[in-house]
Amino acid sequence: MYFFRTRLFGVATAAAITLAGGLTGSSVLANTTKVDLSAAILGDTSIAADARQFYLNRNYEPLWVGTENAPRASALIDALRNSPEQGLPAAKYRIAELEAALRKAREGDGSKTEIMATRIFLDYTQDLSSGVLEPIKIDREIAVKPPRRSELALLEAIAKSSPSGFFRALVPKHPEYTHLLNEKTRLERLIGQGGFGDPVPSVTMKPGTSSKHVIALRSRLSRMGYGDLGVDPAYDETVISAVKAFQEEYGIKVDGVVGPGTLKVLNTPVKSRLKQVLVNLERERWMNRERGRRHIVVNLANFSFNLYDNNRVSFSSNTVIGKVSKDRTPEFHDEMTHMVVNPTWHVPRSITGKEYLPLLKKDPGFLARRNMVIVGRNGRTVNPYNVNYSRYNARNFPYNIKQRPSKRNALGLVKFMFPNKYNIYLHDTPSKSLFNRDVRAFSHGCVRVEKPFDFAYKLLERQTANPQGAFHSWLDTGREQYVNLETPVPVYLDYRTAFQGETGKMNYRNDIYGRDKTIFDALSKAGVALDPVQG
């Protein structure tokens, strides 16, 4: 229903809508009676049920029009004017039109203005507190459900609260949101000053060399915030240190060498970074909820996840995620309820038909070499040499395949379950070498964990005095063991391409799945501007 959200810091000024002959000092809306407002609301079927209930509860007393409501209306106008600061679509809120309507309301029936102000208020407050867009409507792989607030509760709160205090309290409180706002301000200031400067020439530069291109590199890095690097043509330790810091913050292999990959990221325009910040502000609004004293955030774009305890990272690990061309890992939230030690891999039907059936047609013996078996519909194991594979294709193959527990199992020796309709989970893997890659998108959609045993110990530490011993006692049986977590842990599969790093500076990541572009295009269509103009 709603597609935009906003942020607000300024203190509402009653003078904002005082204008010529303004609202504040006059007896406005003498002709706006409760009867007028009740008739207007009851006669407009497009008004939401919560708003109808709100006005019924207050016997149709206006909230926005009238001299006594001028401070509240003024605070709303101030909030709307400040909406671009939050990366919100100011044009959606019809600020000038609302101001004019509030001024004109004193000349006659103000019921239409009252309804207009309430609609704009609800649009703005929902946008600010839970996001401009409905994620699933713009990309079916973004199955995040933003926390929608009760419209009745919002209206009741503004009616009872200090107006300016109410709007300030709506701003998402998570530190990441504040960091993104600060970065937005920094980038906008840089844009006004010429951005990151001239692009660096597409020439590989290495430590120990000297050229005019190094001067361009120094200039670009200085503009990007890596210190005053001067104009020396030498690729010395000062440059090496700045390049390594840049590579760390942008998810590039840290080697101090400016090669093609580093150059591509280095020459990304400042406006592209601002787009990323606007997109990630929206993502943060989608997450504007209490996340749990203990919770897990998987950042797909960073190929990593963090376990948080009391808002501090208590464990982290690199990951491998779904392939870019297909099998992209979706975004959603759920609860981890248990782990499975020595798991059996029940091969998904899509993999069975598309990948394994062609192999079976060539060599049924490959199953035994991989510790796999064919299972019929009755659940019984079938001899792979007794099946006429030529009769089947990916759509009609009637058998299932499973891989028994072992170190070579595709799921490794443990998987971490948060049951969901996507059949996505975290798990170990025998393919450890993939964690040495910078871009780790190789799975069929599930999330592979680099340090699964350590993660298991951490999860178990709250329910056993010896988590490591308990885990290995299950592991040593060689049999599949289900281990319930005494307290389920919220899991957030997220996709953050701009986030605060360990040094406190903003980190950026490549948009490997193309989701940033999808979100920014939708935000832009909704009215979010790269170079917002106030009011």
Q: Give the residue numbers marked as catalytic.
A: 427, 446
Which distant-in-sequence residues (6+ apart) come within 8 Å of 31 by Cβ? 108, 109, 110
Q: Work out the angle between the directed axes of helices 111-130 and 34-42 (0-180°, nearest 10).
A: 60
Q: What φ, ψ does residue 60 adopt, rounded to 5°?
A: 65, 30
Nearest to 519 by CA among 125, 144, 33: 144
Check: CB of residue 277 under 8 Å from CB of residue 244.
no
Within 10 A of 416 (CB to CB), how many other CB atoms are there?
25
* Phi, then psi, of 140 in degrees rounded to 5: -65, -15
Q: What angle do CA 71, 73, 77 make, to 5 degrees?
A: 115
Amino acid present at 249: E
In this structure, are residues 435 and 304 in contact, taking their beta carbons and an 8 Å threshold? no
Retrieve residue 115's tokens. Answer: 């309804």
CB-CB contact of 447 with 298 (8 Å) = yes
| 332, β-bridge pairs | 493
SS3 309: strand
- Asked if 450 and 318 touch (Cβ cutoff 8 Å), the reply is yes
Report d(CA 395, CA 484) in Å as an integer: 36
- The token pair at 42 is 């009851």
